[in-house]
Structure 1
């Protein structure tokens, strides 16, 4: 019963933080910017771009939480907290990429460093858990 209240509290806090306190990571691109898809160029705003990116961000965040949390642990508050933390990190990484105008080299470098961090964290987790 106590765990249910903690989960509901963290989940509610997570929604509030994600909705009202996290910046739009695409604001650095200006009020309107061109997006080219094939031969077509669309004018996009940061708000629309954020709405389009959010489902991808959610799916990626949910998948990465699965690397560190399993529902079989029966601790949904831990999963909810990890989701909030990773979501904040992902928004921060998008914001950082936006500061460089989503230049290919910046996106690649940030993604490589982030992937290496996950590999390191998982290696450390396995070493602590299994003594490997």
Structure 2
């Protein structure tokens, strides 16, 4: 799933990731899976804090950028900083999308979509799997 030519700050073998992550976390974070819509623990969360990568603990999103998109997954309109995430063209499933990964460990987070109908300051919706995140409340 990760770019084999890129060197990440946190790099582990599949065996090491499997020992650290639950089966669901491994499937999403390391194999680019997705959780079922409206089932994630952070879909409707309003808690103030920072959302971190569940695999490597890198800070990725702030609660102030989270919004209700009603898409079934937690949605944000911007990452904490652009260098916290990386973008990969995703043409799987016969459509063109932009995958979002943690820039620190290469873990799959979700996808980002552009559209004026989101009503956000950036016209972006980062649709992120709850299982990819760990919320640190303030």
Which has a greater percent of helix?
A: 1
The TM-score range, normalised by the shorter chain, is: under 0.3
For the pair shown, the structure with the greater C-alpha radius of gyration is 1
Which has a greater percent of strand?
A: 2
Give TM-score, length-normalised by structure 1: 0.23
Give TM-score, length-normalised by structure 2: 0.23
